[in-house]
Copies of this chain bind each other. A is one copy, B any other.
Amino acid sequence: MRRKSLNETQCPIARSLECVGEWWSLLIIRDALHGLTRFDEFQKSLDIAPNMLTRRLTALMESGLLEKRQYSVRPPRYEYVLTQRGRDLSPVLTTLLAWGNKHFAPEGPSILLADSQTGEIAEPVLVDKVTGREISAQAHRLVPGPAASEGMIQRLQHYQRQWDSHATTTDAHYHEES
């Protein structure tokens, strides 16, 4: 395949990007999460060339994020629906949305998340379901899982050392940036 280094990588982030790294992928998933299912809905919404859309849809199906379903026999018509795997990308898109709102919306956000019942604006935060505490670089760290290879363990140890020294040496100027 294209990037040999990744096939050897067990890094789940790299593996995830293998699926949704291409530019349109996440936007298609975004629209699918919004309920779009048909070819021309996607095309109009994304303003994407039809051949590109075909390619991306095919790739997403091969990755198991979308399923093609026939909804009409005559004429034969298909719709593209999210699998569970695709739906599970929702938190990724939500955090991406929050990040974009925070950093690329000088005149205020144009899209916000709201509670369906109360209508109140929601503020998405990542927390540890076990302890309820907010996930942070200080309070959490990465550890090797059951399937970690020897190389991965080394890598994580290396990271840990890097982070330790980084944290102690650069803590000072963290606070002086606005």
Q: How many residues of A contact B (CB 8 A)?
A: 103
Whether a CB of chain B sits under 8 angstroms from the CB of A74 is: no
Q: Give chain B residues whose Cβ lies under 8 Å from the Cβ of A48.
A: 5
Contact call A91/B126, Cβ cutoff below 8 A = yes
- CB-defined contacts of A34 to chain B, threshold 8 Å: 142, 159, 162-163
**What 1/0 flags go to A106-143 for Cβ under 8 Å of B?**
01111111111111111111111111010111111111
Q: Is the pair A84, B30 in contact by a Cβ cutoff of 8 Å?
A: no
A99 pairs with B146, CB closer than 8 A: no
Q: Which residues on the B side are within 8 Å of A108 (C-beta)?
A: 145-147
Indicate if the CB atoms of A30 and B12 lie closer than 8 Å.
no
Flag whether A55 is at the interface (Cβ < 8 A). Answer: no
Contact A103 B85 (CB under 8 A): yes
Taking A96-B92, A110-B10, A131-B120 as contacts, is the C-beta distance between A33 and B137 under 8 angstroms? Answer: yes
